[in-house]
Structure 1
Amino acid sequence: MGDISPIKTRPAGNPAPLRLEAAVLDWAGTVVDFGSFAPTQIFVEAFAEFGVAITLDEARGPMGLGKWDHIRTLCNDSAIATRFSLAHGHMPTDEDVTAIYNRFMPLQIAKVGTHSAMIPGALETIAALREAGMKIGSCSGYPRVVMDRVVALAAEAGYQPDCVVACDDVPRARPYPAQALRNVVDLGIGDVAACVKVDDTVPGIEEGHRAGMWTVALLMSGNTLGLPYEDYAALSDDARAHHREAISAGFAACRPHYEIDTIADLPVVVADINRRMASGERPQCV
């Protein structure tokens, strides 16, 4: 791991932070649930209960948004909307989206524990960040009623972040910056530039940019690759390189500051960000 020694006090008169003070971590696909299966499979099941078949790949498309917005985005897809129209005689309305959402929620709560395992290396990485004096914030596309269940399961596994912000804790969830900024306020961070946002989705990286933070995209543990850890671990080096290139291309438009495979690689990135901050760089200017 890189050098992420404890935070030093900022010199008087220097307005710029010299080191990272907090990491704001996503949940599914970042810290828990390698491959991000808990949310995606439930979308498939919820739509099926309304007579509309969607694929796991289609369900993954808008990942990172709040769940109502996720369903609305799926219903805006022309192919899915056509299937819905054939089943119900009209194009999906906001009332239909709410009906699907209301069915999705109890399914999500009931089954989120099935995919709650910590991602390999997550606990070790978080311990290293804490040892360096960093606070651990978090946010998710999960609403509070699901988030509370996820947090309880993570605590049993040894993970307790300092802050948890669900998508319905703020007026507008990601890609808007409110969840990330709520972490800044609740953690008592003095400058958004002293935070790094870590996420496996485009909306999560956009959230970090809009909040003025450093951003780190996860390429292999999350929604886009969508493999269980055992299948990922079995990939050849060539296969990993192929997937890495394709997934990176999907993040190109939102310009993450860094891309890594999984959270296990984060300490090296934190060390490099600290080096850049010590030389005067800020995330908004690179």
Structure 2
Amino acid sequence: MSYRYQRRYTGPLQAVIFDWAGTVVDFGSFAPTQVLIDAFAGFDIEVSLAEARIPMGLAKWDHIQALGRLPAVAARWQARFGRAMSDADVDALYAAFIPLQIERVGDYSALIPGALECIATLRQRGLKIGSCSGYPRVVMDALLPISAAAGYAPDWVVATDDLPAGGRPGPWMALENLIRLGASDVAACVKVDDTVPGIDEGLAAGMWTVGLSASGNEVGLSHAQWSALTPAEQAACARPAAAKLQQAGAHYVLASIAELPAVLDAIEQRLANGERP
């Protein structure tokens, strides 16, 4: 007879891993989308804000490729150049995109309301703060000092091109955070993101996942635009975004990072009851 030992983590949470745009900074996630629109415009291709948002969460090279494969965008490219977009075209668009993103990421770097208070609460609980992004390292290096000056400096940062395996929707950036932060179990970690690829990333890593609807890419409103809505209008705007994140498998969906601390209590109770993500 053989016996199989099973260990189930029931301890407290150890780390929370945040996305950047639409999650902690840049309410509405405008920096990646607007700059992508401008990069395509440099090639005489019109892309709408709604189209630019569709592949959000992917590494930026992958985002550009996916955007170019959208039927309407692909048709415009075919009409303009007489051929389908190639990987070499994606390389050229990416080369145009990166300097623009570095130059302008600071224009959209304001912290989301409630973010600093949330991070302070998490640190008081003894939690490590990790982060990862669809931005490449050169963009993160431009954003980090701006964010630090505003009061947000996570314990670890992984950019989408830091790892040979790549970025989302794979688990590698989230798992690299776990290693660097010294968390002892994937179930002790929570991944917080406003995009489906970001939720996929956390689930693939075996972590708890929290989706953010109102502050992120799916609603796509600035904080001023969001605040101008009535509560009923806000609920109507956030409903499709929340449904999309729930369908992706997010364990919890909140409006913004400001609501996160209470959910961590619920996750720790589930851990204590023997549940896994």
TM-score range, shorter chain: over 0.9
> Which 4+ stretches in 1 moved above 4 angstroms?
none
CA distance in 2, matches of 1:227, 1:235: 10
Question: Considering only aligned residues, what root-mean-square deviation do their CA atoms show, in Å?
Answer: 1.1
Quote the offset at 1:15 in angstroms.
4.6
Aligned counterpart, 1:144: 137
Q: 1:113 aligns with which of 94, 106, 110?
A: 106
* Conserved? CA contact 1:138–1:161, under 8 Å: yes
* Residue 158 (structure 2) pairs with residue 175 (structure 1): no
* Conserved? CA contact 1:209–1:215, under 8 Å: yes
1:1-286 correspondence to structure 2 within 5 Å = 15-170=8-163, 171-283=165-277
* Conserved? CA contact 1:71–1:101, under 8 Å: yes
* Conserved? CA contact 2:18–2:191, under 8 Å: yes
* Conserved? CA contact 2:246–2:252, under 8 Å: no
Unaligned runs of 5+ in 1: 1-12
Sequence identity percentage: 54
Quote the offset at 1:17 in angstroms.
3.6
Q: With structure 1 as the length reference, what TM-score do the two structures score?
A: 0.93
Q: With structure 2 as the length reference, what TM-score do the two structures score?
A: 0.96
CA distance in 2, matches of 1:209, 1:230: 32
* Conserved? CA contact 1:175–1:206, under 8 Å: yes
* Conserved? CA contact 2:245–2:253, under 8 Å: no
Quote the offset at 1:62 in angstroms.
0.3
CA distance in 2, matches of 1:267, 1:209: 20
* Conserved? CA contact 2:8–2:274, under 8 Å: no
CA distance in 1, matches of 2:160, 2:178: 16
Quote the offset at 1:172 in angstroms.
1.8
The residue type paired with residue 254 of structure 2 is I
CA distance in 2, matches of 1:14, 1:204: 28
* Conserved? CA contact 1:19–1:194, under 8 Å: yes
* Conserved? CA contact 1:44–1:59, under 8 Å: yes
* Conserved? CA contact 1:39–1:108, under 8 Å: yes
CA distance in 1, matches of 2:215, 2:41: 27
The residue type paired with residue 96 of structure 1 is D
CA distance in 2, matches of 1:17, 1:29: 31
